[in-house]
Each structure stands twice: as C-alpha cells, then as structure tokens.
Amino acid sequence: MQAARHVVCALSGGVDSAVAALLLRRRGYQVTGVFMKNWDSLDEHGVCTADKDCEDAYRVCQILDIPFHQVSYVKEYWNDVFSDFLNEYEKGRTPNPDIVCNKHIKFSCFFRYALDNLGADAVATGHYARTSLEDDEVFQQKHVKRPEGLFRNRFEVRNAVKLLQAADSFKDQTFFLSQVSQDALRRTLFPLGGLTKDFVKKIAAENRLHHVLQKKESMGICFVGKRNFENFILQYLQPRPGKFISIEDNKVLGTHKGWFLYTLGQRAKIGGLREPWYVVEKDGAKGDVFVAPQTDHPALYRDLLRTSRVHWIAEEPPATLVRDKMMECHFRFRHQMALVPCVLTLNQDGTVWVTAVKPVRALTLGQFAVFYKGDECLGSGKILRLGPSAHTLQKGKSKSRVATEGSIDGPGHGPGSGPTL
C-alpha cells in the first residue's frame, strides 16, 4: 500500500490555517504543522504576540494529533520584507508588505524548508484561493529546473498552473498571492478555496478548536499591530518636516513631520482646521503634501498608471497581450476593492501601462496592481508611475480654452465638478 502523502501546513495560530490542517487530516494525509516567527516584538502591553500565536498553533497540533515545528525567519523577514517596506516609504510610496512576505517568506523560505528539510510532498496554507490543479495532480508535480538562458520549454509554459479566486469572493486572497512563483503554486494545496468563512468557523467550533475561534481577525500590517503608525515609522525613519498645501490655490494650511507618513486618499490631520482635507499629491523634492477639501475631489482621480516589470503567475504574459500588445482585463490595487475594467499595454521591458475604463480614486505609488481575467489571477506589478489627475487635466483644458477663446471657466468646469470621464 502506498504511504500517506506528507503535507506540511503553515499554521499562524488563527482559525483559517487550523481548519486547513484539520481538513488535510480528514483527507487521509500525513500532516505536519509549522509556525513561522517573522517578527520579534512586544505589543503595547509588553507581550510578544508571536509567542501567543505560536502557543495557539501548538495547541492546534495537539488537538489534531500532528507533529509541530517552529521556524524563525526574523532575519529573512527583515532583509526581504521590512527593509523594502522602509525603503518604499522613504521614497514616498505606500508598500504592501503582505504581498512581499508571501513571495519571499511563505512561498520561498517556508516552501523550501517544507520540501527540503521535512520531506513534504506538498505544502498547504489557510489562504482563501484555488489553483487549477486537483490534489492528486499536485502530488505528481516534480521539481523541474528552469531552463537557463533565453529559450524556455514552451510545452512546460503552456501547462502553467493557474491561480483562481476563492469561492467566497469577499474573503478571496489571490490579491496577496499575486507574486507567488509557479514552482511554489505547483506544490501548494489551498483546502479553504471552496469554503465560506462562516463554514470554516462552523468546522472549527465542531472540532474543539474554540481557542482559535475567539481570536480577532488579523488586520493591518502584522509588525505594526495596534500601535500608532506614525510613532512606529518614526522609530525607523528620520522626520522630514514639510508643508500641507491646498491643491486649489497653493495656500499653506499647516505642517507635518514627513511626507512618507501620508498616502493618497487618506484624511490629513491639519492642526487648527475643522473641516476634512484629503491627501491628493506629494512633492518628494520639497517634502510637501498637497491636499484637497473633498473626499471625491478630481485631484484624487486618475485613469492611467505604469507598473514595474509584471510578475505573471504563468511566467509569461498572456498570449493575447504578447500578440496584440494590448489586452482587456480587470485590476485592483487594494484587497477587497471592486475590480476595475482596464486595458493593458505591454512595454518591451516587461512593464505595463494600465488604462482604467473610468478614473479610479486614490491610485497609489508602491501598491501592487493585481490583474484578473474572469476568476483567474494573472499576476501583478508594482505601481511606479501615475498619469495626470482629473484636476490637472481640467486645469489644462481651461487654460487652453482661455488661450483659444479668451473666456473664463463656464459653469460645470470648476475643480469640484467631479472627475473627467
């Protein structure tokens, strides 16, 4: 008789990964639980949250009667995720450390540890996502060394594993997996891909996993926790005082401690002003932050961006995009935001221009534009350039109109008239 397949499941101490491990056991696999410690820190009460999570993960293994391992990737996390995070903020961008962590830590360090050190046939996580492979096909995957040089095995590329959205579209986490390698996806099981969060909680309740059920959902940046973000980031970056300036009349409204503390679209706390102002642009050279008086001000809307070199899940751009140099699809740059219809234009260096069908609020440098076609996640690229805002375009139009007609702005052309479509 064939020995049971060995699956190594990443355990975070939360309900999702606990139920993933339980379901794998039910399928008859030999399961090992691994807790990753990625950050060394104390919360505001002086308690190390990672220690509590580790205990919870250990208890899950006891309840399920499976082996437990703990690994530390604190050094790797600092080098590959946190340093990048600080670097991006210093450049005035807004990074997404969760996407970077999945790429470098969970689906690289942990993946290799599971296969090389623990002899896993496959790995598993509690992410809400699916792939195009059935379990049996995952176990048949052999590690194929990527061909060196320019020429690839075309047959292998055509058989790329697809990353698909979860059945529970609200919980879908393909956004966070959009930079994961084809190698890792081929050997990964996502036991929760077809389930809703409510059903996962029900399974936990019925299987003595109450200790993970009572925990709050982990939200926000893992290493910041509940602390004040400004205080946290100023422990690592030097303050760079600058001015808050109105985008409408260039009037100075107040001062701030550093332009990197603000992201486009967020409300700016400006001392002495009661009405809300929102961040619409940043001037890196001077360190100034431009603000506008409404949450839907045209200065917040853009329909064009350029990414870094795109990481395609299939390792190659879609055939349509290669053939036509353009392709219709959808994108999002925040988890759970509605998908935006767009047209991609492929550049020779592997970057893409993304033109949204209608202007999008608060497109942000440093975030990842994640691309979808139907329920397939195609991959992602970091947003490195933005097109002009609707406000800038309106100003340009009104200037040219003044030049050609000698008239002043008519009604409906002021900055508050909404984004140009």
Could you give the residue numbers annotated as active site? 101, 222
Cβ-Cβ contacts under 8 Å for 83 (sequence gap 6 or more)? none
- How far does Cα 340 stand from its chain's mean position? 16
Nearest Cα to Cα of residue 260 among 364, 361, 363, 335: 364
Calculate Rg over the CA atoms of the chain.
24
**In a 3-state reduction of DSSP, which class is residue 159?**
coil
Nearest Cα to Cα of residue 182 among 218, 226, 214, 152: 152
Nearest Cα to Cα of residue 367 among 350, 380, 376: 380
Q: Is 400 left (phi over 0), alpha (psi -120 to 50) or beta?
A: alpha
Q: d(Cα 333, Cα 339) in Å, to the nearest integer? A: 9
Cα of first residue to Cα of last residue in the chain, in angstroms, is: 65
Q: d(Cα 309, Cα 349) in Å, to the nearest integer? A: 7
Backbone angles phi, psi at 156, to 5 degrees: -65, -40
Tell me the C-alpha to C-alpha distance, in Å, between residue 23 and each of 20, 33, 35, 89, 266.
5, 13, 18, 40, 41
Q: d(Cα 373, Cα 110) in Å, to the nearest integer? A: 29
Tell me the C-alpha to C-alpha distance, in Å, between residue 330 and each of 103, 191, 369.
22, 26, 10
